[in-house]
Amino acid sequence: MTKSARAQTLLAGALGGLVVLILGAILIATGIIDTGGESSEPIISQSPIVQPAADEDGDGSTVNEIYRRSERGVVFIEARGRAGASTSPFGLPDRGGAASGSGFVISDEGFIVTNAHVVEGSRDVRVRFGEPGEDESIDARIVGADPSTDIAVLKVNMDEDKLRPLPLGDSSKLKVGDPTIAIGNPFGFDQTVTTGIVSALQRQIPAPNNFSIDDVIQTDASVNPGNSGGPLLDAAGRVIGVNSQIATGGAQGSVGIGFAVPVNTVKEVVPQLEEDGKIERPYIGVTTAPVADLARDLNLPADRGALVQDVQPGSPAARARLRAGRTRTEEGILLGGDLIVRVDGRDVGSPEDVAEAIEDNKPGDSIEIEFLRGRGRESADLELAPRPANAGAADPREGLRPPEGDDVLPLP
């Protein structure tokens, strides 16, 4: 046999052996060949939550580990005694005067956070903790509720050693793509866990009183009716939001677009609710729209500010004779209204700036508003009023709601 023939024979033998090895590995992996071990059950390994490259705050815990740490701090809420039809602006049925949702413990004094729309109008609220095998519910007292943020605080009388407060995170540090974990009781299925990511930040959703909630977290973690008031957690198990609403697009359940009130809003609201049971917010009674991207095309007098769209009758803005828009553009913006450029000594670049400047005051305070009308600059003094129970159409931040045709619903 020549050298060339021997080389071809050796090469063929090597390739044949390699094919056998690969085929054998495939057969073993698929269970066709029994290796003789004690069990042919697949081995399942649980990997830590995948962290985004820029996220250094995760602690490497698995979803199961985070759930085990958190389950006793998440509660199932039953609210009864609702009189008459639902007062929700979303037109949901009252289901015989009862509602259910979720909540979570925030202190060893027995304070619990949930959504305001879960307990709204209820006379009897009971909670059930996530103790393994625990079926007994206990009475809870409504300490206070803020419909403008859809946050409510409950109080239970329990031994401190039985309470498991959840740690609160910092929603200002969130980034799109960060992992999220939702724990709650969708459709009454206790302690259900779903996972996802932060899909978007700084969303705006309607509050139960028709005002708007700002800086909302959007997530694709599946949330459904019954999740409302439950915690949205980060990769370290810290609360970053309170699950509140979903966009359904006309479907009957979750389509992967959920909204959570940011935990930093909770931190601001809860101490006031614990102390006073309610929050009085200042109000001027206008709807405004941003102009930064439209000023040149619409020939507006400035490229920054908040363009007045609507002035609520009888409001401080109406008494100060602020002018609403009259002519609607193809973009849906009303032209002809005053362009607010300064509030209480602070420059205004957007509707959010108007809201922030107003909310730094309290009802009864007087503020000065500067605005452009035509090509002239004018000012007016307003005495801030308490925010009404229902906004109607007037809210300084309104105009950034989800597009018409999308159904954005609270999670009852």
Task: Write the secondary structure of 350-384 as one string of H (helix), E (strand) and C (coil).
Answer: CHHHHHHHHHCCCCCCEEEEEEEECCEEEEEEEEC
pLDDT at 35: 39
Structure pTM? 0.72
Listing DSSP states for 250-292 in one string gives T-SS--S-EEEEEHHHHHHHHHHHHHHSS---EE--EEEEE-T
Cα 121 to Cα 113, 147, 185, 269: the distances in Å are: 17, 12, 21, 19
pLDDT at 336: 87
Q: Are strands 98-105 and 74-80 parallel, antiparallel or unpaired?
A: antiparallel
Instruction: Check if 150 is active-site.
Output: yes
Catalytic residue among 70, 86, 146, 150: 150
pLDDT at 125: 93
Mean pLDDT of the chain: 78
Structural domains of the chain, with CATH? 63-162 (2.40.10.10), 171-278+405-410 (2.40.10.10), 282-386 (2.30.42.10)
pLDDT at 327: 86
The rounded average pLDDT for each run of 10 residues, N- to C-terminus, in the chain (412 residues) is 46 45 38 38 36 53 90 91 47 57 94 94 88 74 94 93 93 95 86 92 89 91 89 95 84 75 96 92 90 68 83 92 88 86 90 88 93 90 88 42 42 48
State the Cα–Cα distance between residues 310 and 324, nearest whole angstrom: 5
pLDDT tens sequence across 303-329? 788 999 999 999 999 999 999 988 888
Contact 260, 178 (CB under 8 A): no
Q: Is 388 exposed, middle or buried, given 0-12, 13-18 or 19+ CB atoms closer than 10 A? A: middle
Contact 303, 341 (CB under 8 A): no
pLDDT at 47: 35
Catalytic residue among 228, 244, 254, 350: 228
pLDDT at 407: 47
pLDDT at 112: 97
Catalytic residue among 102, 117, 220, 350: 117
Ramachandran angles phi, psi of 380, nearest 5°? -150, 145
pLDDT at 253: 58
